[in-house]
Structure 1
Amino acid sequence: MASEEEQQKADQTLAQQLAESEQAMYEQSQQQIQEIEDEVRQTQALVGGKETIEAGLISAYDQATSPEYYQKALELSNRYSHIRKIRGDGNCFYRATLTAVIERVLHNRDELEPLNVLCKGWRKRLMDQNFPELTTGDFCDAMETLLESIKENLKTNEVLMDDLNQDGIANYYVAFLRLITSGYLRENEAEYAGFIEGGRTLDQYCIDEIEPMWKDCDHLSIIALVNALILFINKNSVKNITEISGTTITKMPREIKEVKEFLVVSRRKDAKYVLVKTNPQNVKFKVRCSKYLYTLVLADKEKASKVKSSLPNGLTVKEIK
C-alpha cells in the first residue's frame, strides 16, 4: 500500500500532467485562432473597393436557402447602389464610419470645415477629461493632419483609400474615433451609466470595451460615436432589419438576431467550417467564410447545443479546447 508521501507525489505528478495538457490545448487553440486571423488579414483588405450592392451583397445569399436575407439584400439595393466591405477585426464599425465620413467630405467640401472644427474641439474636450496628453495628442494630430491634407487638395480618392488600408496610418484615425466615443460617454455619464451591464462603472466600461483597439463596437458605443461626431448614421445592417417599409424598421431581441444571422451565415455557399469552443461561462462559435469570420457567443449551454445541432449537414465542425 502506497505511503501518504508517495500518494502526495503521485497526486502532484497527475496535477502537473493535467496542467501541462491544459496549457498545450490552450496554446493549440490560440494557434488555430491566430491562423484564422492571419488568413483573414491576407485575404481581406481593411477597406474594400467600391462594389455594386448586387455583386457585393445580394450575390452572397442564396435565394433558395436564405430567402429572407436575400429579400432584405434586394430591399437595401433600392436605397443604396454601392457598398465597401470592411475587415471584421473588431475595429470594423469605427473603420466603416471613418471611411464613410472621410470619403464624404472629400467630395462635399462644404462639410469639411465643420468636421475639422469639431475634431479640433475634441482635443480640448479629451484633455479636460484627463486623457493621457502624449498619446491623445498623437491621435488628434493624425486626424487634424488628414483633414488639412484634404482641405489642401493633397488627397485623391485613390491616395485616401491607400492610406485607409495601411494599419500604421489608419489605426491612428480609428484610435481617435475610439477616444471621442469614450470621451462623449464620460461627458454624459449620468445619461448612459444605467446602460452598463456586468456591474461595471462607465469608466471601467470605456477602459474595457471602447478605448482598446480590436474590441467590437456595441449599441452603446455606436450611439456615443454618432453623437460625438454629431452625425446621423443609418445603420442598416441586414441582421437588424426584419421589415423595411418607408422609414419603419422592426427589430428583434439582440441574441435572437445574432443566432439567426449566425445560422444564415453558416448556410452561405462559401462557408468552410465552424469552430466551437466551450468555456465555463459560455460557448463560442466561429464560422469561416471565404472573406470573413463571423462569431457568436452564447452563455446558455442548452441554447448553444441547439445551435450546434441546427448547423447544416456537410459543414465541418471543429471542437477546440
Structure 2
Amino acid sequence: MLKKLTKSALSATVVVAAAVTLGPAPASAVSAPLSNARIARHFDLAKGQTPENVVFAPDGSAYVTFAAARQIARLSPDGTTQILATLPAPTDGGVHTPALGFALTSGIVRAPDGTLYFLYATGTADLTGVWRLRPAGTPRRIAALPADGLPNGLALDARSHTLYATDSVRGTVWKVPVSGGTPTAWSTATELASTGFLGANGLKIRGGALWVTNLDRGTVLRIPVLRDGRAGSVRAEVTGLPGIDDFAFTGRGDQLLATLNGSSEVVLVEPHGSPTTVLTAADGLQNPTSIALRGDTAYVLSAAYVTAHDPNLVLAHLNH
C-alpha cells in the first residue's frame, strides 16, 4: 500500500464496475518470466474501486478489497464484478485514519470453507481490526486492532487456525485466532518500522516463516515461526526495492515477483539478488498494489492512487 487520498481527489504525492476485456496489449517492457501482458479489467475510480488486495477461490473467482470504497467484491470468471459488502463508514469520515486520512479495506484471505477474512482501518476504535465475511453472510469484526495503527497485509495459517496481520504505522505483525478475540503483537522488530510513512506491508507464509515487505525501507523480511509459536530473528532476504507493496512466490524456490507502487513496476527477484523489471506502466500498471498467481497466470491489481487514471487488473503469463 502506497497512498494518500482525500474524499474529493487523489494526491500527486507518492502514497498509497464494469469489467472490460481489451484486445492486444500495447508494446511492452515484459521480459522473462512474464509474457503476454494485457489489461483484463478496468475499475471505476469515481466509485472508489481502488483494488488493494486479492485472493482466489476454486471456482475461478477472485475476491478483492476496494480500498477507498470500503468494499469486498467478487470478480467472476464471466467478467462481472459483484459487491459483496460495504463496511460502515466511521463517524468522522475516516479523516483520522493514520498516515492516509481515509478509511480503507486492505488485506484479504480466504479459508477452505469459503469464509473471507479482511482488514479495515478507520482510525477509530469501534471499526479498526480484523473482519469476517461468511458465504451469504454479513461482515462482522472479530478482533479489534489499535485505532492509531494501519492494518494492511493479511495471511492465514490454516494449520494453526491463525491470522497474521501487518501494521504499517506501528511496525507490528499481529497474531489473531480465526475464531477472533484479543490480538497478540507477534513481532515488533525494528526492521518492521517505517522511516516516516509506511513500514510493514505485504505478508506471506512460506516454509515455516512469515515473509513481510517494508515499503519505506524497500525490503523483504523473513521471520521464522518458532516451535512454540513465537517470532524468531528477522533476516532481510531482499533489499533495494523502494515502494515495495505486495509480492508472490513464483514456485521456483524463494524467487518472487513484487509490485513497486510508486514506480508502477513489477520486478522479479531472487533472495539476495538484484531485481529485474518484468512489467511497467507500458503494460498498463497504475500504481500496482498486489500480485497473485493462479497457475501460470499472474494477476496484478493497480489502484491508480497517484496516477488517478485507470485502476485495473493486468494479467500476464508466467513462463516456467
| More strand, by proportion | 2
With normalisation by structure 1, the TM-score equals: 0.28
| More helix, by proportion | 1
With normalisation by structure 2, the TM-score equals: 0.28
Instruction: Tell me which structure has the larger Cα radius of gyration.
Output: 1
